[in-house]
Amino acid sequence: MEATLAIFNKEFKSFFYSPIAYLILAFFTVLTGLFFYLNLSGFVEASMMEMMRAQQYRMAPRPMNVNLMLIRPYFWNIALIALFTLPAITMRLYSEEKRLGTVELLYTVPITPTQIISGKFLAGLALFIVMLIPTMIFHAFLFLYGEPEFMPILSGYIGLILLGSAFIAVGLFISTTTENQIIAAIGGLAVSLILWLIGWGASYVGPTLAPVLEYVSIITHYEDFSQGIIDTGHLIYYILFTFTGLYFALKMIESVKWRA
């Protein structure tokens, strides 16, 4: 456990030794803030239009569902931004060790490959959670000026963290296969994008293969979380998916260590 924490501390601090982490945090915050503003503006405009319609026809305005019209779309926006942002975090998790030649040093100290992978994964996940903090502040403003339901927001963040864990596990595995960070970033994005889009192909295949594609799709299991539903089946999917990605990463560095 101490070795895992040591790797975690080293990796998490190293994110901020270069401007990349600050650029990613700034990019993510600005983009999620922009989408929040656009979604909020759309909701306010729709509310105003409904009030004008109600006054015109002398009837009570229809209730506007803030969860359906604002919170749910915003969580989808965050997930999409994370899809394109997280590969920039995971690209250096292991490929940087290869590029700098410090992999051999890791093999000479009493640290197991499992501890290396666990520490690096947790560091990437911790940075992603830090990235989500500004979006939580955006949601807090909704409680200052309205009464949104808390459960969809809570489940939405649980879904985001699980989805982010899956993306990070994929990116970490790709990072163990190359010393080139650009290739690691492109590879991580490509695999994650395929896993995102594969569910859409279910409508173009037969009834036998369609359920398989829908289940494999990494984003299909996120939909319920964005609606305030925490399903154990989706929890199990993301946990198994994440551990599978970490398992492949583990086997990759074990094979390299054995050859060394």
User: Is 147 among the domain residues?
Assistant: yes
Report phi then psi at 195, rounded to 5: -65, -25
> Of residues 210 and 37, which shows the higher confidence score?
37
User: Is 157 among the domain residues?
Assistant: yes
From residue 183, alpha-carbon distances to 17, 87, 174, 179 in Å are 22, 10, 9, 8
> How many CB atoms are located within 10 Å of the residue 258 CB?
8
From residue 80, alpha-carbon distances to 76, 88, 237 in Å are 6, 14, 19
User: Is 171 among the domain residues?
Assistant: yes
User: Is 99 among the domain residues?
Assistant: yes
Q: Confidence band (pLDDT; 50, 70, 90) for 101? A: low
Number of domains in the chain: 1
Q: What is the mean pLDDT of residues 35-64?
A: 78
pTM of the model: 0.91
Share of the chain above pLDDT 70, in %: 90
User: Is 236 among the domain residues?
Assistant: yes
pLDDT in tens, 155-165: 999 999 999 99
User: Is 85 among the domain residues?
Assistant: yes
Q: What is the mean pLDDT of residues 19-34?
A: 94
pLDDT in tens, 62-82: 666 788 888 999 999 999 999
From residue 169, alpha-carbon distances to 48, 56, 108, 240, 242 in Å are 44, 55, 25, 11, 6
Question: Is 14 exposed, middle or buried, given 0-12, 13-18 or 19+ CB atoms closer than 10 A?
Answer: middle
CA distance 197 to 213: 10
pLDDT in tens, 199-242: 887 777 777 788 888 899 999 999 899 888 899 999 999 999 99
Q: Which domain holds residue 161?
A: 2-32+66-259
- Determine contact, residues 157/132, Cβ cutoff 8 Å: yes
User: Is 151 among the domain residues?
Assistant: yes
User: Is 243 among the domain residues?
Assistant: yes
119: tokens are 């520490």
> Of residues 167 and 47, which shows the higher confidence score?
167
